Amino acid sequence: MSRRSFRKFKNGVFLALSLIATLAGLACLAAILWTLISHGLAGMSWHLFSQMTPPPGSRGGLLNALFGSTVMTVLGILIGSPIGVLAGTYLAEYGHNSRLSVLVRFINDVLLSAPSIIVGLFIYEVVVVRMGHFSAISGALSLAVLAIPVTLRTTEDMLNLVPIGMKDSSAALGAYPWRTIISVLYPAARSGIVTGLLLAIARISGETAPLLFTALNNQFWSTNLDAPMANLPVVIFQFALSPYKDWQDLAWAGALIITATILILSVSARALLALLQSKGGSAR
Amino acid sequence: MAIIDPRHAAKQLIYERVFRAATLTAAALVLVILGGVGISLARGSWPALSHFGFSFVTREIWNPVTDEFGALAAIYGTVVTSIIAMAIAVPAGFGIALFLTELCPPLLKRPIGVAVELLAAVPSIIFGIWGLFVLAPVLQRHVQPWLIEYAGAIPGVGKLFMGPPYGIGVLTAGFVLAIMVLPFIAATMRDVFDTVPPMLKESGYGLGATTWEVIWHVVVPHSRVGIVGGVMLGLGRALGETMAVTFVIGNAHRISSSLLAPGTTISSSIANEFTEAVGDLYTSSLIALGLLLFVITFSVIAAAQAMLRRIERRASLAL
């Protein structure tokens, strides 16, 4: 083989391999989604949304788990996102490149990919041990800790996208920075910040590890934040590993619900972001 | 009308200080959380670490009945599953990033990019349940018997592929981890490849280089730091990943020479045993595992971030 055709051959081989890698990645996603849909739809019924998690051997639903997951996710966002948004505001508007903000930015990026089970252990040590028992509120707190880095990062990025002229005009009218931030920058960056919230919800609503030893689980309906609360991920974990067919079916149905929710959230967050960028591009 | 009412101005100044203090507190809270994690884990693991001393990380034994605990099997499992995951995910992620930046028709670029990001958004428990019910049986029936028959016969390497095909085990956990970290590695590498100035690539093509030669001799050297950063970010994820591994690893506290045998990792030991742990020493040993994981992943992710930062800075200088 001549040198030239060998180079062409090598090129072809590697490009084919890269195509195969892409197809394999897409195939994995398709296989997971297909499994979820085919197993999950079989277990879908109205009972899921009207009945509690059953004891083994009888039929039931996921109502208490769905409720618990919603409560803890909402609480986690309510606690975590204000902190993330304010901290992101500090980095973008006050701190800029001060030593503190560089450090916070770095630590935040580390927290963004830190293992969530560590956060669960942290909340267990700080909250559960002090309170003496597992509780929904400690579950919500661990989710809040996971929500902070996501909202912080998006808020800072989005505030930096606001055209500097708007900030200057506000300052020229005599407004203090806080006034500018609340009345000019937040409205201008609103959809971006909402995107951050959606991403944070998507991130925390599927988290299992930190809930295992904070919120634990609850076989029954409970609205008490001071007591263990059922939640979808932990129910899926327990039911999927059980030997009972009824429980496994419920686990698949729960898995489908949770994945569908999260994928819808991430797709809409991305769509919102794309819309924002195209709008921002035409404005400038 | 007074242009500036002094009382109004004073009030504004107070609001400004309060708001600034609130944002500063929130930012500082991020540091407090990290510090709190480190301190609370260190305190929680103190009983175990002071009782076992350094032998905690060098002993394989894990016996709740006699209250003897060592982390070696968990550390071994964590490292081996992550190595398997990286061995698969790094080349595959490189291929996907390459496809997305150099080969993909513009029309497909976005949908495939989104699909990769969706794979990253799927919660880890879903990978676990899929791994246990779909991937493990497939591996058990089709892949592992083949590995045992052919790879098991190779002298030296053969030891890694001995024993019965359980389906679940270290190898399966490595496979599931590979699929999980693949999107992170692919997305980071794609972003890094995008920072290579088009002029450099065009110069390569101008000299008559093939696509692969441009990638291997221009794109890769230029983005080396970022590639390593992306790989380490994926490694950080793989080391700390919990639920997906817990489903498929088999949770056995021992070190087997075979990759097909059940094992355990740091995070899956904690997830499986924490709520059932009775006795202070048992709980404390599990928290000590958590501390180990925290230190390892923190160092890996911090190094990755530092590298990615360097390439970002260079990219912004080049523009």
B12-64: pLDDT as tens digits: 899 999 999 999 999 999 999 999 999 999 999 999 999 998 889 888 889 88
Residue B2 has pLDDT above 80, yes or no: no
Q: Which of A35, A99, A107, A145 should be substituted to probe chain B, the one whose Cβ sees the most B Cβ atoms within 10 Å?
A: A107
Kindly state the tokens that stand for B63. 């016996």
> Cβ(A100)–Cβ(A190) under 8 Å?
no
CB contact under 8 A, B41 and A122: yes
Q: Which residues of B touch A93 (CB under 8 A)?
A: 23
Residue type, B163: G
Is B12 strand, coil or helix?
Answer: helix
Name every chain A residue with its beta carbon within 8 A of the beta carbon of B186: 25
Give the C-alpha separation, A223 to A213, whole Å: 18
Interface test mutation site (partner B, options A91, A106, A110, max chain B beta carbons within 10 A): A110
Residue of A nearest to B293 (CA): A118
Is the pTM higher than 0.80? The answer reads yes
Burial of A250 (0-12, 13-18, 19+ CB in 10 A): buried
* Sequential DSSP letters for A233-247: HHHHHHHHTSS-HHH
Q: Which of B17, B122, B191, B235 to mutate to test the interface with A (most CBs of A within 10 A)?
A: B122
CA distance A240 to B128: 10
Q: Which residue's entry shows tokens 């769509």?
A: A271
Contact B313, B241 (CB under 8 A): no
Query: A176, B125: Cβ pair inside 8 Å?
Result: no
The alpha-carbon gap from A278 to the nearest alpha carbon of chain B, in Å, equals 14
What per-residue confidence (pLDDT) applies to B17?
Answer: 94
What pLDDT, on the 0 to 100 scale, is given for residue A86?
96
pLDDT tens string A202-216: 999 989 999 988 888
Q: Which residues, in sequence order, are CB contacts of B115 under 8 Å at separation 6+?
A: A25, A26, A29
In a 3-state reduction of DSSP, which class is residue B68? strand
pLDDT at B164: 83
Mean predicted confidence (pLDDT) in A113-120:
91
Chain A CB contacts of B24 under 8 Å are 90, 94-95
Considering CB atoms only, which of A18, A35, A124 is closest to B103? A18
Mean pLDDT of A34-59: 86
Cβ atoms < 10 Å from Cβ of A19? 16
Do residues A71 and A159 touch, judged by C-beta distance below 8 A?
no
Half-sphere exposure of A46 (CA within 13 A, CB side): 0
Q: What is the DSSP letter of B263?
A: -
pLDDT for res B4: 67
Instruction: Inform me whether the pLDDT recorded for B103 exceeds 90.
Output: no
- pLDDT, position B67: 87
Asked whether residue A116 carries a pLDDT value surpassing 80, the answer given is yes
- In terms of Cβ atoms closer than 10 Å to its own Cβ (0-12, 13-18, 19+), residue A168 is exposed
Determine the average pLDDT of the residues in A59-77.
92
Quote the percentage of chain B above a pLDDT of 70: 98
pLDDT at B235 over 80: yes
Supply A225's token pair: 């934040």
pLDDT for B121 beyond 50: yes
- Supply the mean pLDDT for chain B: 89
Q: What's the whole-number average pLDDT of chain A?
A: 90
Question: pLDDT tens for residues B194-211?
Answer: 888 999 999 999 999 999
Question: Which of B92, B115, B290 shows the shortest C-beta gap to A121?
Answer: B290
State residue B318's pLDDT score.
62
pLDDT for position B28 = 95
Three-state SS at B289: helix
